[in-house]
């Protein structure tokens, strides 16, 4: 399905009947990875999952968005539904959006349940190696941005960015790289206590992108949260341990499977 929100063409899927639950995917991902989860939740709920701007089959945002911009997009996307109560599930980057959404005091709906799966939002501790790498990147960027460097080696700056950046950064378009820089540099830890509704945290024990310690910290800071740890699973725990994840979801969401 497709619709235009604030001038941006958005690819989305809707299935089932009942109370509304919205699924927000991770960075560089799309709604296709939620196929099994959509079918499961649709047994009891109206499930809506969209490719957020810049991902999947949706258009990129018109500017370098920050997390707040994605929050506003989700609010605007859901306006047509007129729902008074909404449940939210977010994986990785999708979790960032859900956490920041709880800073809004004028939400047009009540969030009744939250599920955060290997969620992003906690800033990693600064190590000496990371600090050195940051200084090296800034120095290299400054040198390669000069007129002389651009004239002698026009591709050097872009190649340097790809080498120094993450795989996600290298794979992103120029616009989405700007978005990524804004997104990953925002620490959402202070906002976690604002999530007052029942919250399920699901984490892969072997997650290296958003380590288990992030989930443990979220469990302490979110007033009504419970953490489920999935063994032999990494950042995509909902796929790597699908059977167990589905059982956990059925229990939390009251689904008879």
- Over residues 156-178, the mean pLDDT reads 69
Same domain, 13 and 61: yes
The answer on pLDDT for 195 being more than 60 is yes
Examine the fold and report which residue of 144, 159, 181 is the final residue of a domain before the chain moves on. 181
Q: Where residue 97 sits, what CATH number does that domain have? A: 3.40.50.1820
Closest CA to 228 of 252, 193, 254, 194: 252
Burial of 23 (0-12, 13-18, 19+ CB in 10 A): buried
Same domain, 8 and 114: yes
Q: Residue 86: how many CB atoms within 10 A of its CB? A: 22
Examine the fold and report which residue of 181, 203, 223 is the final residue of a domain before the chain moves on. 181
Q: With bands split at pLDDT 50, 70 and 90, how would you rate the model's confidence at 202?
A: very high
**What kind and span of H or E run contains 86?**
strand 85-91
The whole-number pLDDT of residue 171 equals: 75
The answer on pLDDT for 150 being more than 80 is no
* Total domain count, the chain: 2
Rounded-to-5 percentages of helix, strand, coil across the chain: 45, 20, 35
Same domain, 172 and 242: no
CB-based contact 16:44 (threshold 8 Å): yes
CB-based contact 76:97 (threshold 8 Å): no
- Report how far residue 94's alpha carbon sits from residue 88's, in angstroms, rounded to the nearest whole number: 9
The answer on pLDDT for 39 being more than 80 is yes
Same domain, 47 and 118: yes
Same domain, 61 and 167: no
Same domain, 158 and 247: no
The whole-number pLDDT of residue 146 equals: 73
Instruction: Please give the residue that has the higher pLDDT: either 116 or 143.
Output: 116
Same domain, 55 and 15: yes
The answer on pLDDT for 117 being more than 90 is yes
19 CB contacts (<8 Å, ≥6 apart)? 45, 46, 83, 85, 87, 112
For residue 185, give the 3-state DSSP assignment: coil
Q: Can you say how many angstroms the Cα of residue 255 is from the centroid of all Cα atoms in its chain?
A: 25
Quote the domain boundaries for residue 164. Answer: 128-181
Same domain, 133 and 55: no
Same domain, 47 and 115: yes
Same domain, 102 and 171: no
- Report how far residue 174's alpha carbon sits from residue 110's, in angstroms, rounded to the nearest whole number: 36
CB-based contact 210:92 (threshold 8 Å): yes
The answer on pLDDT for 198 being more than 70 is yes
Examine the fold and report which residue of 166, 181, 196 is the final residue of a domain before the chain moves on. 181
Cα-Cα end-to-end distance for the chain: 27
The whole-number pLDDT of residue 13 equals: 98
Same domain, 238 and 192: yes
Same domain, 161 and 211: no
Average pLDDT, the chain: 90
- Over residues 144-156, the mean pLDDT reads 68
- Report how far residue 216's alpha carbon sits from residue 212's, in angstroms, rounded to the nearest whole number: 6
């Amino acid at each position: 399905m497709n619709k235009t929100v604030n001038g941006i063409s958005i690819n989305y899927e809707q299935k089932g009947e009942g109370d509304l639950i919205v699924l927000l995917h991770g960075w560089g991902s799309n709604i296709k990875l939620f196929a099994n989860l959509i079918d499961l939740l649709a047994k009891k709920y109206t499930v809506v999952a969209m490719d957020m701007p810049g991902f999947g089959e949706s258009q990129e945002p018109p500017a370098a968005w920050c997390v707040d911009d994605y929050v506003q997009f989700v609010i605007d996307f859901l306006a047509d539904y007129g729902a008074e109560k909404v449940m939210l599930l977010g994986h990785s980057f999708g979790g960032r959006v859900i956490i920041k959404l709880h800073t809004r005091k004028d939400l047009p709906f009540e969030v009744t349940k939250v599920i955060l799966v290997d969620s992003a939002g906690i800033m990693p501790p600064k190590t000496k190696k990371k600090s050195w790498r940051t200084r090296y990147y800034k120095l290299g960027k400054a040198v390669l941005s000069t007129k002389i460097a651009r004239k002698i080696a026009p591709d050097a700056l872009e190649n340097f960015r790809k080498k120094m950046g993450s795989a996600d950064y290298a794979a992103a378009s120029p616009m989405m790289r700007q978005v990524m820089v804004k997104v990953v540099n925002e620490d959402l830890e202070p906002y976690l206590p604002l999530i007052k509704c029942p919250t399920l945290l699901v984490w892969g024990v072997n997650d290296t992108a958003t380590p288990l310690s992030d989930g443990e910290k979220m469990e302490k800071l979110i007033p009504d949260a419970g953490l489920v740890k999935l063994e032999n699973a990494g950042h995509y725990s909902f796929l790597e341990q699908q059977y167990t994840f589905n059982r956990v979801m059925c229990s939390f969401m009251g689904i008879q499977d």
